[in-house]
Amino acid sequence: MFDKIKEIFESECFVHEPHQLYDPIEYTLHLGGKRIRPYLLMTANQMFGGDDAHVRNAAIGIEVFHNFTLLHDDLMDKSPLRRGKPTVYCKWDENTAILSGDTMFALAWHYFLKQPTPRLQQILSCFNQTAIEVCEGQQYDMNFEHSSHVTIDEYMMMIRLKTAVLLAGALKIGALYAGAPEADIDHLYQFGIHLGLAFQLQDDLLDSYGDVAELGKQTGQDIRDNKKTYLILKALQTAPDNLRSELVDLFSATPDNSDDKVARVRQIYDQLNIRHNVEIAIDEEFSKARLHLDSIHLDDDKKQPLLNLITTLSGRKK
Amino acid sequence: MFDKIKEIFESECFVHEPHQLYDPIEYTLHLGGKRIRPYLLMTANQMFGGDDAHVRNAAIGIEVFHNFTLLHDDLMDKSPLRRGKPTVYCKWDENTAILSGDTMFALAWHYFLKQPTPRLQQILSCFNQTAIEVCEGQQYDMNFEHSSHVTIDEYMMMIRLKTAVLLAGALKIGALYAGAPEADIDHLYQFGIHLGLAFQLQDDLLDSYGDVAELGKQTGQDIRDNKKTYLILKALQTAPDNLRSELVDLFSATPDNSDDKVARVRQIYDQLNIRHNVEIAIDEEFSKARLHLDSIHLDDDKKQPLLNLITTLSGRKK
């Protein structure tokens, strides 16, 4: 399936006039990436007996939307690199990033609207609700940067909106195209939510405990950026007073040489057994995902691709 | 009708959580404005026997979209004021303007999707095509800032995309909701295009020849900003070599005291009879709009509101 999706994106042309608007779109959509959202959409559709050809455009649409959010996020976060290449706002400029991003959002709709289906309103409403929630998630993420009191519940709500709903939405849309029953769609959606939460918690964990060689990038970046993650929030929740104060101080500073800071934060994490705590939380999310998958009224062989996905993701090192 | 639309916007609440995301949306949508796009949508629907209540949400949606484009345009142009109030990026910050804008685009879809209709795909495709064209128009506008060779044809293409298609799209969508015949819809769309072109050319003219008291703002701003308008392009096209050189020089400079520059450019415009030329171009667009309106198969009394609109706009002083 991933090969098929790769082929779809390689063969799709996003070049139009004015080229100043579409070149950055073509660049962004051909940077690569895991294409996990089109995969989920097409897999869900296949599970319920849908034809791949009937969701080709929707699969493109969901990936175009995802890349639009990355494009604007990179601008808002002032990130210089994405998938090892310069981000659009760096390679071109800020206005290009704004307007090409806006156009990508419209382009996502263009692909959805090209795909005929009797459930159009329901599919588009799901897509749009997801889009709104992703924006809300990004706003909460920005709010949390400036907040000293973020609870773990608030953090989970934020990553649900920012990351999980789009994976869940991709699955739901795929199933809607195939005409799946409502009850199954609900379980599939919840499967996607918990998969997404597990995925994000893994990202948090890998930043502190990942293998530099496997990851292909520096670890500890979240700590250097004073970014709120599950790890620091769990540490603040469970630390004794003296360590909590030290963590608060460490996460308020941006020293020139941040290696010492990263080392000290990891030492505290180890002392508080944070790695184990996060691993438990991740396993819980995967288990919940698995339970929702079990509740879907389909033969096991139909569910196999999503079961395999859990297995693959559970062991991911990057 | 305008009173009814005013009431719709006054009674609509755009406040949600997170308030950091929705406060700028609420602020933008309650800044006021002419609400010409909802007016066109609702009027077109009424002309063909549609019920106002059936297009209420679509009317909100088209205005939300328009205000999203203004919000992002103000950020890209670094404009400090909109309708006499601070723009979102000034009152809050750039990231808020980006993300609240993105959310407004999604919110526009939310309103369209709330409005049930048997022609949903056609209506949404028209809306989306319009949205893409508006982005393309904004890109051409930005391109032209850095280009020394813009033809009048290119300029007309740009204002068609940036301004006219949204007026035309609003009319078409209103007519689609009412189930109007295709041929009439095509004429109504073309009516909107020419109305929009006339409207933009009037804006260009008023900037140089408007009455300061009527406008409530300084004139000559386009000249101060070296902005490409119909006036300067026509002047460059018709000027003898020496005046063309002088205009090119004037439009390359940004002097501290720009009053002398504005005065000299106006003097050249007068010498070249530019005002008269633009008035002819405006009249031509209004005439074309009128011809398309005449071709619609409806009784004259049904067309009266749009005829009145031409009359009102023809005489506008601001």
Tokens of B247: 């205009």
Separation CA A309–CA B223 (nearest Å):
60
Nearest to B99 among A106, A109, A138 (CB): A138
CATH fold for the domain made of B1-180: Farnesyl Diphosphate Synthase (1.10.600)
DSSP string computed for A155-197: HHHHHIIIIIHHHHHHHHHHHHHTT--HHHHHHHHHHHHHHHH
Nearest to A135 among B103, B136, B142 (CB): B103
Distance to chain A for B291, nearest Cα, Å: 31
* Element at B85 (helix H, strand E): strand B85-86
What token pair was written down for A136?
A: 């809300």
Interchain CB contact of B140 with A (< 8 Å): yes
To test the contact with chain B by mutation, choose from A20, A25, A78, A135 the residue with the greatest count of B C-beta atoms within 10 A, namely A135
* Each residue's pLDDT expressed in tens, for chain B with a length of 318 residues: 888 999 999 999 999 999 999 999 999 999 988 899 999 999 999 999 999 999 999 999 999 999 999 999 999 999 998 988 999 999 999 999 999 999 999 999 999 999 889 999 999 999 999 999 999 999 999 999 888 889 999 999 999 999 999 999 999 999 999 999 999 999 999 999 999 999 999 999 999 998 877 777 778 889 998 999 999 999 999 999 999 999 999 999 888 888 999 999 999 999 999 999 999 999 999 999 999 999 999 999 999 999 999 999 988 777
Domain A1-130 in CATH 1.10.600.10 = yes
- Closest approach of chain B CAs to the CA of A51, in angstroms? 21
Tell me, what's the pLDDT at B318?
77
User: A18 and B139: CB-CB below 8 Å?
Assistant: yes
- In the three-class reduction of DSSP (H, G, I as helix; E, B as strand; rest coil), residue A86 is classed as strand
Q: Which of B99, B103, B143 sits opposite A20 (nearest CB)?
A: B143
Quick one: which H or E segment has residue B92? none
Nearest residue of B to residue A123, measured between CA atoms: B113
A147 touches chain B (CB under 8 A): no
Give the separation between CA A36 and CA A2, rounded to whole angstroms: 8
Q: Which chain A residue lies closest to B20 (C-alpha atoms)?
A: A139
Q: What percent of chain B has pLDDT over 70?
A: 100
Measure in Å the smallest separation between the Cα of A140 and chain B Cα atoms.
7
pLDDT in the model for residue A76: 95
Tokens of B201: 């050319």
What residues have CB less than 8 Å from A202, skipping those under 6 apart?
A: A282, A313, A316
- Using the Cβ of A139 and the Cβ atoms of chain B, whether some distance falls under 8 Å is answered with yes
Cβ pair A110:B132 closer than 8 A = yes
What residues of A are in contact with residue B17 (Cβ under 8 Å)? 136
Rg (CA), chain A: 20
Tokens of B16: 């949600």
**CB-based contact B128 A136, cutoff 8 Å:** no
Sign of the CA dihedral running B250, B251, B253, B255: positive
Sequence spans of domains, chain B: 1-180, 181-318
Of A106, A113, A143, Cβ closest to residue B18:
A143
Q: What is the pLDDT of residue A135?
A: 98
pLDDT for position B210 = 85
The structure tokens listed for B308 are: 């009145």
pLDDT tens per residue across all 318 residues of chain A: 889 999 999 999 999 999 999 999 999 999 988 899 999 999 999 999 999 999 999 999 999 999 999 999 999 999 998 988 999 999 999 999 999 999 999 999 999 999 889 999 999 999 999 999 999 999 999 999 888 889 999 999 999 999 999 999 999 999 999 999 999 999 999 999 999 999 999 999 999 998 877 777 778 889 998 999 999 999 999 999 999 999 999 999 888 888 999 999 999 999 999 999 999 999 999 999 999 999 999 999 999 999 999 999 988 777
Task: Provide the token pair at A198.
Answer: 């597990």
> Is B298 touching A (CB cutoff 8 A)?
no
For chain B, say whether A146 makes contact (Cβ under 8 Å).
no
Inter-chain touch A106–B20, beta carbons under 8 Å: no
* Complex-level ipTM beyond the 0.90 threshold: yes
Q: Quick one: closest CA in B to A139, which residue?
A: B21
Q: B103, A18: Cβ pair inside 8 Å?
A: no
Compare all CA atoms of chain A with the CA of B100 and give the residue at the minimum distance.
A135
Backbone angles phi, psi at B86, to 5 degrees: -60, 140
Question: Is the fold of B1-180 the same as that of B181-318?
Answer: yes
Mean pLDDT of chain B: 95
Contacts of B98 in chain A (CB under 8 A): 72, 75-76, 98
Distance from CA of B79 to the nearest CA of A (A): 13
Which CATH code is given to the segment(s) A181-318? 1.10.600.10
